[in-house]
Amino acid sequence: MTTNEEKGKFASACEAILFANKKIILFLLLVMTFVMAFFASQLKVDAGFEKQLPLDHEYMKTFMEHEKFRGANRILVSLIDESGDMFNEQFFAKLEKVTDAVIFIPGVNRASVKSIFTPNVRFVEVVEDGFAGGNVIPADFRPTQDMFERVRGNIVKAGVLGRLVAEDFNGAMVWADLQERDPQTGEKVDYQKIAAQLEAIRTEFESDGQTVHIIGFAKIIGDVAEGAKSVLYFFALAIFITAVLLFWYSKNWKLTLFPILCSLVAVIWQMGSLKLMGMGIDPMNILTPFLVFAIGVSHGVQMISGWTDQYVKQPKDNKSSESAAQGAFCALLSPGVIALLSDTIGFATIYFINIEIIQELAITATVGVALIIITNLILLPLLLSGLKMSNSAGFCQKFTEKKQSGGIWKGIAGFAKNPLASVAIVVTIALFTFGYFKSQEMQIGDSQAGVPELRPESRYNQDAITISSEFSLGVDMINIIAETSPNACTESFKAMHNIDRFAWHMTNVEGVQKVITLPQFAKIITAGWNEGNIKWRELSRNNYVMRQSLSGIETDTGLLNQDCSVMPITIFTEDHKATTINTVIAAVKAYQKDNQPAMDDTGELVEGEVKFRLATGNAGVMASTNDVVKGAQMPMLIMVYGAIILLCLITFRSITGTISIVLPLALVSLLAYALMAYLGIGLKVNTLPVVALGVGIGVDYGIYIFSRMQTLFKSGLGLYDAYQETLRLTGKAVLFTALTLGIGVGTWIFSDLQFQADMGILLAFMFILNMIGALLLLPALAYWLMPKYRKGI
């Protein structure tokens, strides 16, 4: 009891300081808001490829070490001729221009650009006195039928059919790798600008019988950022819906405006702080500000409910907004701070996942939620204290009338005793079981061919389908990096043989379409030196022949590094579904295990030994991300829940009470995963934090409700009566908040962005289920776990 008195004293002391200096504080907050609004207005969209990478992961160490062979941040621009035949003058003219246009996009690694027009794509041809090679498009190219036949032959000889040219010759493709930083200026590239330039290429060349299809990370970011503009309209809509419902609830437009205003102030401060911390906002992170708004509203509604209750209770002839505000402040300071602190700490723990974009989200959410402590627990009561009620009698009338109609609340209160308490427990056990099994079906990573952030019918995903159906290769790949001794490709038959054997093993793995690696080219060129005789397609043991074979292969082919100590094995997979990637990764690991390279005493590789390292390429990156996401999911939840449990234990000094608060949350988390499995939403970098954020929303409900009940227990009420009394005020606010926010985010299913639609469904689900859990399951658990309060039933 002493602690509670102290707490009461603490709240009173805060109240005294706060309300005495009301004007100064309000003024400071106002100035602060203007300053922050200024900074917030400067906040830029900041997208990046590398920040999506789990840099601690083994594969990503390979990725960072071998910059040359990353091939993950790639743009593919394909030009398709609608006639079904690309061999016409217009098509070739356009393809050349598209190639040039791609080369000149800032941020594109120019040496990496490949199309049949670039000099790094060559073919080999056998002639009487040896063999000749050349560019696919000859220097004397003229758009004649004969020349087209020659080019067609060159395409086949160059081995780019299915990669740079569509299998049935109805289109061609330009590849380009992006660099995250401009090598000259060292500045970070602007993905939206690149996306806009890609879109400009489409606009310019997509007409008169040719279509342009573009895929790649830069385009995804561009399209998501484009779609994110509509996110703002949906935010506005959600805020409007909240306002309308809040007005109906509070019966007063000022009481409607204040919590919304305070929540928006929190968002403004949050965005301003991001700018001050030198951060931008990632398109994938654009929902976090709304989340902060939602949590703000949730606390704001508690505050105005508390205020209204105090105000209505005051004697008719002595109504004081100020004392009502003081009363509400004292009553809500403790649960409000606890709830927000557990959110803050919970979100902060997400920071331990070492993927930059998730850390950004952790910071964004943590800062936002922490700021709500100021805006909704300080600013809001101060604003309320100055509220002038024009028709105070009428206002109070509405609430006293309402108080009598409590049938539904009686029903809900029934969950604090049997038989409903038992029913709730049985249903909970059933749901836990169902949720557990269903959530096991949740995919890690992507389950579709395109990207899940965009609508299936979006241009991007349609382009992805077109490209993967016209071009069998080149979209999804895993590069395994073979590390061996310097000059291995010309001096070590054994090393080349080892790489070749590994490549053949990978070719035989299910889901692999083709494997490309240097030894294959060495074989073909060796045959070329032997007049193209196919029987000579074998690796030579002779160093001279090896050197001769590889002298013509430049590093810009991406098949080897400068001193030929590193050679990638490029594995083209059928798609980038997690199951496909996992199969390949498992095969690589099995091979590594069975073929460990021999080391000498100094830890160097013995001559001819090869170390195969996972992995680069877009699918390699996905494999590592999937690994990390899968591994991070449980620790993240444990940390989030750990923070909540700890704070609840400290605050309420009750293990059973803590269980009553946390168990409903855990059930909702589990069911959220089950819902993700049901909807086919895979767990990936962008969706990983959503469940943790959902916990943050839900815990507020439980803490407010339990805090109120505990106060009532102390005043001598039994569980049922205490709960009924809690429902009247706190419970009603919880119910109202959840429904309001649920409806608000529910409208997101109409968003242009699949990602926002998915998040809308998930958040609405969690808002509402957390509310149901807090209102129905929490009292049932209290009934079973705290029998000493069962009196008076």
For residues 519 and 702, which CB has a smaller minimum distance to other proteins in the complex? Answer: 519
Closest contact distance (angstroms) between CB of 617 and other proteins is 21
For residues 480 and 622, which CB has a smaller minimum distance to other proteins in the complex? Answer: 480
Token pair 């209160």 in the structure block, residue: 413
Kindly give the pairing relationship between strand 477-483 and strand 171-177: unpaired
22 binds other proteins (CB under 8 A): no
What is the C-alpha radius of gyration for the chain, rounded to an integer number of angstroms? 32
DSSP string, 152-178: HHHHHHTT-BTTTB-TTSSEEEEEEEB
Helices (H) and strands (E) in the chain, counts: 28, 9
Stretch that binds other proteins, among 111-119, 225-233, 483-491, 526-534 (CB under 8 A): 526-534
For residues 509 and 685, which CB has a smaller minimum distance to other proteins in the complex? Answer: 509
Q: Which of 2, 5, 24, 129 binds other proteins (CB under 8 A)?
A: 129
State the Cα–Cα distance between residues 463 and 79, nearest whole angstrom: 11
For residues 184 and 544, which CB has a smaller minimum distance to other proteins in the complex? Answer: 544
485 binds other proteins (CB under 8 A): no
Stretch that binds other proteins, among 307-315, 329-337, 540-548, 674-682 (CB under 8 A): 540-548
Q: Which of 114, 213, 299, 505 binds other proteins (CB under 8 A)?
A: 505
Stretch that binds other proteins, among 6-14, 114-122, 372-380, 499-507 (CB under 8 A): 499-507
Closest contact distance (angstroms) between CB of 594 and other proteins is 11
State the Cα–Cα distance between residues 745 and 333, nearest whole angstrom: 28
Closest contact distance (angstroms) between CB of 537 and other proteins is 6
Angle among Cα 731, 737, 742 to the nearest 5 degrees reads: 130
Name the DSSP class of 541: S
Closest contact distance (angstroms) between CB of 116 and other proteins is 16
544 binds other proteins (CB under 8 A): yes
Return the structure tokens found at 502.
Answer: 């590994």
Write the interaction track for other proteins spanning residues 666-685; mark x where CB under 8 A is met and - where it is not.
--------------------
For residues 527 and 632, which CB has a smaller minimum distance to other proteins in the complex? Answer: 527
State the Cα–Cα distance between residues 686 and 452, nearest whole angstrom: 10
Closest contact distance (angstroms) between CB of 474 and other proteins is 18
Return the structure tokens found at 39.
Answer: 């900074």
126 binds other proteins (CB under 8 A): yes
DSSP string, 471-535: -SSSSSEEEEEEE-STTHHHH-HHHHHHHHHHHHHHHTSTTEEEEE-HHHHHHHHHHHHTTT-GG
447 binds other proteins (CB under 8 A): no
Residue count of the chain, please give it. 793
Closest contact distance (angstroms) between CB of 542 and other proteins is 5
Cis status of the peptide bond prior to 419, with omega within 30 of 0: yes
State the Cα–Cα distance between residues 453 and 516, nearest whole angstrom: 31
For residues 83 and 542, which CB has a smaller minimum distance to other proteins in the complex? Answer: 542
422 binds other proteins (CB under 8 A): no
For residues 42 and 83, which CB has a smaller minimum distance to other proteins in the complex? Answer: 83
541 binds other proteins (CB under 8 A): yes
749 binds other proteins (CB under 8 A): no
533 binds other proteins (CB under 8 A): yes
141 binds other proteins (CB under 8 A): no
84 binds other proteins (CB under 8 A): no
Stretch that binds other proteins, among 436-444, 502-510, 565-573, 619-627 (CB under 8 A): 502-510
Closest contact distance (angstroms) between CB of 92 and other proteins is 21
Q: Which of 211, 320, 513, 530 binds other proteins (CB under 8 A)?
A: 530
State the Cα–Cα distance between residues 425 and 57, nearest whole angstrom: 42
State the Cα–Cα distance between residues 550 and 552, nearest whole angstrom: 5
DSSP string, 295-309: HHHHHHHHHHHHHHH
State the Cα–Cα distance between residues 45 and 283, nearest whole angstrom: 7
538 binds other proteins (CB under 8 A): yes
Dihedrals φ, ψ of 238, to 5°?
-65, -40
Q: Give the footprint of other proteins on this chain (CB under 8 A).
A: 126-130, 153, 156, 168, 501, 504-505, 507-508, 529-538, 540-545, 548
